[in-house]
Amino acid sequence: MNWYIFSAGIVAFVVGLIHSILGEVLVFKKMRREGMIPSFGGDILKESNVRILWATWHALTILGWGMAFLLLALASQSPTTEIYSLTANTVAVSTLTSSVLVLLATKGRHPGWVGLLCVSILIWIGGYYS
How confident is the model at residue 44, as a pLDDT? 94
Cβ-based neighbours of 105, under 8 Å, separated by 6 or more: none
Domain count, the chain: 1
Neighbours of 6 (CB within 10 A): 18
The secondary structure of the chain in percent helix, strand, coil, rounded to multiples of 5, reads 75, 0, 20
| Cα–Cα distance for residue pair 37/51, rounded to 1 Å | 7
| Cα–Cα distance for residue pair 116/15, rounded to 1 Å | 8
pLDDT tens digit at each of 130 positions of the chain: 999 999 999 999 999 999 999 999 999 999 998 889 999 999 999 999 999 999 999 999 999 999 999 999 999 998 888 899 999 999 999 999 999 999 999 999 999 999 999 999 999 999 877 6
- Domain of residue 42, residue span: 3-128
- DSSP E strand boundaries for 6-105: none
Q: Note the pTM of the prediction, 2 decimals.
A: 0.91
